[in-house]
Amino acid sequence: YNGSNDYGIFQINDYYWCAPPSGRFSYNECGLSCNALLTDDITHSVRCAQKVLSQQGWSAWSTWHYCNGWLPSIDDCF
């Protein structure tokens, strides 16, 4: 609805968390280019997802509520 896009394995939003390649404004809270979230090395993706989760919780991902009410633990991923 706001023209933003999501990037990488964790679908991280470019309005708040990464700098889009278009140069459009972003808060860029993770301090990285959105293209860094598209590489085979997911280090940047994991670190940024950790930051998103710690600051906004699951609600940062607009589609999380489509789960059937049960979310598996991903603690071992971090």
> pLDDT tens, 20-40?
999 999 999 999 999 999 999
Q: Which residues contact 36 (CB under 8 A, 6 or more apart)?
A: 18, 44
The pLDDT assigned to 60 comes to: 86
Q: Residue 67: pLDDT above 70?
A: no
Domain regions of the chain by residue span: 1-58
Confidence (pTM): 0.79
CATH of domain 1-58: 1.10.530.10
Q: Which two tokens mark 54?
A: 């710690």
Q: Fill in the DSSP letter of residue 12.
A: E
Q: Do 44 and 37 form a contact (C-beta atoms < 8 A)?
A: yes
Alpha-carbon separation of residue 72 from 50, 58, 60, 68 (angstroms): 16, 13, 17, 11
